[in-house]
Amino acid sequence: MITPLGANSKHVFDFLERMNVRRDKLTEGCLRRDRLDLAGHPGTKCLLLKAPRGFGKSVQIAEGARAATDRGEHSVYLDLSSFWSEGLSEAALIASAIIAVLSPSNLSDIDTGRCKEVIALRLLKSCENPVAIFLDSVTGSTTTQRFLKTIILETPESVRLIVGERLPGTLTTLLVLSHVVPIGPRELSFTFDETCSILPRETGQVKKIFSLTDGWPYLCALAGKLNAACESIVHLAEIRTYFETDVLADIPQSLRDFLINASWLEEITAEASDYVFKVENSGRKLEELASRHGLLAFRTHRPEHFEMNRALQEYLRNRFIDTYGSRRQYFLKRIALWHWRRKEYRLVVDVALRAHDHSWAQRLTDQALLDLALRQGEIEALATWFTGIPRAKLFQMPSLAIAYAWVLYFSQRAEEAQNLLDDLNALQGSNPTGPQDPSGWGALVRAIGLATHDELQESEESCAAWIETYGAVNPVGQAAAQTCRAFIAASDRQFDILSENIASAAVISGATHHRYAFGWLAAAEVQAKMFIGDVYGARSKIQSFKEDENVAYARTPFVKGMLAALELQIMAEEESIAPDEDTMQAALNFALEYGVTDIVWNTARSAAEIYIRQGDKSRAFLLLERCRLLAKDRGLKRLDILVRLGIEVFAMGTRTNPPRVAERLSFDDHPFLPNQNRAVQAESALLEASRFLRDGKLGLAERQARKALSNFAAVRDQRGEIRAQYTLATTLYLMGEGKQARKRIADANLKAQQLGAFRTLINRRHFLRVICPETKALLDQPELQVAMVEKPSRNVQANERFVATGSAPISQKQVGVLQHAALGLSNKEIATRLHVTEDTVKWHFRKILRGLKANNRTEAVSIARSMDLI
């Protein structure tokens, strides 16, 4: 209320015209977020936007006003941070604007002595059309709040409001109304997709900005505009100034100091703050910072715990260091002591790492150390922690040595781990009165460590013996051993016993809250899906495990890294989506540093395929060579064989001289599990078939392709079957058996569609064109192309189960026949598409009707759809 314009109707109309211009300028080029509009909250009378400056309240209110105008509603939009006539109070201005929009002539006839609020209410009650009122920067005076409360309570449901407060906590009287929905920082923050839409940068950079800012709109926009390097954004002068002048300026100094202290806590609670900083009544201040100022958020399932935006927390922690630099270690030790008293040992590790203090490891009890290592799986944190402990100290506390050996095994340092356990055993053997290991921790670490080194047969036998000896007295260890056996079953493609092992391990893991075990069980399930070739199923499993509280995806970096490595394999099969470089590097870094043989090879192979697809052959072969050297260095024989086979396949498909030519391999003397041997033999036979096909030795190529197909089928590797079918089809085509070749290609295409294995199909087509250009005429025939389409999400869950277990009432081939029937094709048309006889189609339909218990084709299609088969 600065400019003295007088309180007449002309000034109100002028102000509304200015508001229209302001609204359009505010929304120009901005992101429209319908989820925050009135249309996105049916049944709500008023949306109350409560957040610090920089969360886009003004833009969202202006966007809502424009959307209401587009819907044909009466729209009243006021930004009360602008200048208006001194003759009008805030409430009177709002009322005058309502009158001007609903009855312009009425405004000019109103005597200045009459109550504008009463007239505005009368117009709102009598208006037959929807009315939307948008008020930005409301000061929250008593008169204004009373007027808004009256509108909410006394007007029809067709009158709705969006209100944004100028200062935090000024519209508290509206919050108690049942028809008012508060919209806070959490709702106003950008989603990742929204962040991508406003930042024209690479996906990897956007991910970093989103992660650093938690979607804080102003920070996202400013980091993008300033072209921040992404490692940190709080070092930017503009962002520091924003925090100081716009976010913290209105907070009392005492409360600001308290917020700076709270930012240093590992978990922000009133009890932790009281203990660490020796204060009282922290709870009241935390609640005020959350509910009034919007700088903290209540955790969804733990209301006594508070969350802080990451960028704000980093900025405040820097302020803390500036203020308490000399006492930093003192406060960190008090934080660690707080979590120590509560037996929250994982948080003790986190705080100790921040303090660069390794001495805490020696203070932990035996049970705490083993709990951190085995049950909670804090591999990365403990690996850093243990580096600061002298080796002599390890043997003074056997649990320290055992936990360190566990960390070494899962860091792919098996030789060091074994030496450590051997030295510990020798020391304990020479000292009969010394501490023993009645729970069998050392033997357990050794048994499971064998599996990390790909010595799976020995590991399986050792785990079974350990369970027999120690399982009854050590349930946490039993959960770990059972989980190891489940992972071994997945690696050996023993899918029938895998489900039994997972069920058994899940029961004992759930009882002991063994979240690290759940992470490995999740990995075993996803890996089994990928071995089978069920890409749709693997994708669905990954998504469900990310949301599974037991798996602890968000809380355990090791589990998160393992699932990221598996997810890259799924992305490699996507037809239209290419993972960004940061996603690929994160998955590769984890796989190469921590992964077991299957995860290392499949992640590296997927990344190499993507690099080649992008035209970067040099990078692909450098990665494969790095993988080969890693296998030699760690003594992983199976990984070495898989890499050598892979290098030659990639070399043939790219017409490249590989860095090291793979010699012929023999599998008779390799101590792998039976199905692992057969899977390697299948890959070797397919490579031999490709060599013979390239050299024109068609008879030998056919024999090796059939052998590969048989071996892939034996281990249920359906993606391998697709590659073998295509290789056999091209061989048969060159031998003059075109009809048989086309039939095999049609079968392979159908299988790829059902599995979602599109890239397997594309890569094999390209590979065969390169090694045998004569097959191009066959592979490019239009009728043999497959539509690369996404599987409807509603079909994924049920169909993935049928594909993986073979429990569907009809076969995959019959599902394909029924899919064509659902399109209205006749038997003859289906036969033509599948390259079979019409009698074969009729035979399939008899099987389909019997399996689905249907009376006719129409009913069979309906039943199949209800079962999510098609």
- Specify whether 348 is located in the same domain as 385: no
Question: For residue 802, what pLDDT is reported?
Answer: 46
Q: Please, what is the average pLDDT of the chain? A: 84
Three-state helix/strand/coil letters over 97-119: HHHHHHCHHHHHHCCCCCCHHHH
Q: What share of the chain is helix, strand, coil (3-state, %, to 5)?
A: 65, 5, 30
Domain-located, residue 126: yes
Q: Do 226 and 250 share a structural domain?
A: yes
pLDDT value at residue 112: 52
Q: Are residues 812 and 860 in the same domain?
A: yes
3-state SS record for 479-491: HHHHHHHHHHHHH
**Where is average pLDDT lowest: 65-74, 240-249, 403-412, 512-521?**
512-521
pLDDT at 860: 81
The type of residue at 104 is: P
Q: Is pLDDT of 846 > 60?
A: yes
The reply to whether 761 falls in a domain is no
pLDDT score of 790? 44
pLDDT grade for 531, boundaries at 50, 70 and 90: very high
Give the largest Cα separation in the chain, rounded.
106
* pLDDT per position as a tens digit, 431-471: 555 456 788 888 999 999 999 999 999 999 999 999 999 98
pLDDT band at 349; cut points 50, 70, 90:
confident
660: left (phi over 0), alpha (psi -120 to 50) or beta: beta
E strand or H helix that includes residue 356: none
What are 699's two structure tokens? 């008879």
Domain extent for 310:
192-354
Torsion of CA 336, 340, 342, 346, to 10 degrees: 80
pTM strictly above 0.75: no
Top mean pLDDT of 235-239, 483-487, 797-801 is at 483-487
Per DSSP (E only), the strands in 57-179 are 74-79, 131-138, 159-165
Looking at the structure of the chain, the number of domains it has is: 4
Half-sphere exposure of 32 (CA within 13 A, CB side): 14
> Does residue 349 share a domain with residue 363?
no
Q: Which two tokens mark 44? A: 């709500």
As a whole number, mean pLDDT of residues 342-355 equals 75
Whether residues 400 and 338 share a domain: the answer is no
Q: Are residues 167 and 26 in the same domain?
A: yes
Most confident of 73-87, 345-359, 482-496, 800-814: 482-496
| Residue with more model confidence, 777 or 434 | 777
Q: Please name the amino acid found at residue 864.
A: A
Residue for token pair 């209540």: 298
CA angle 155, 157, 160 (to 5 degrees): 80
Q: For residue 153, what pLDDT is reported?
A: 94
Coil, strand or helix: which one is 770?
helix
Other C-beta atoms lying within 10 Å of the C-beta of residue 857: 15
The reply to whether 709 falls in a domain is no
Two structure tokens written together for 815? 């599902």
Q: Which residues does 477 contact at the CB level (< 8 Å), separation at least 6?
A: 374, 439, 440, 441, 444, 466, 470, 471
Residue 642 lies in a domain: no
Residue 675 lies in a domain: no
- Run of H or E including 306: strand 306-307
Q: Which residues pair with 277 in a beta bridge?
A: none
Strands 131-138 and 159-165: parallel
Measured CA to CA, the distance from residue 322 to residue 328 in angstroms comes to 10
What does the DSSP 8-state code read for residue 780?
T
- The enclosing domain of 205 has a CATH number of 1.10.10.10
**CATH code of residue 40:** 3.40.50.300
For residues 127 and 74, is the Cβ–Cβ distance under 8 A?
Answer: yes
Separation of alpha carbons 518 and 510, rounded Å: 8
pLDDT reported for residue 484: 93
Measured CA to CA, the distance from residue 397 to residue 760 in angstroms comes to 51
pLDDT value at residue 377:
63
Residues 6+ apart with CB under 8 A from 736: none
Look-up of token digits 């729970």: 439
Residue 16 maps to a domain: yes
Is pLDDT of 782 > 90?
no
103 and 178 both lie in a single domain: yes
Q: Residue holding tokens 């899919």?
A: 819
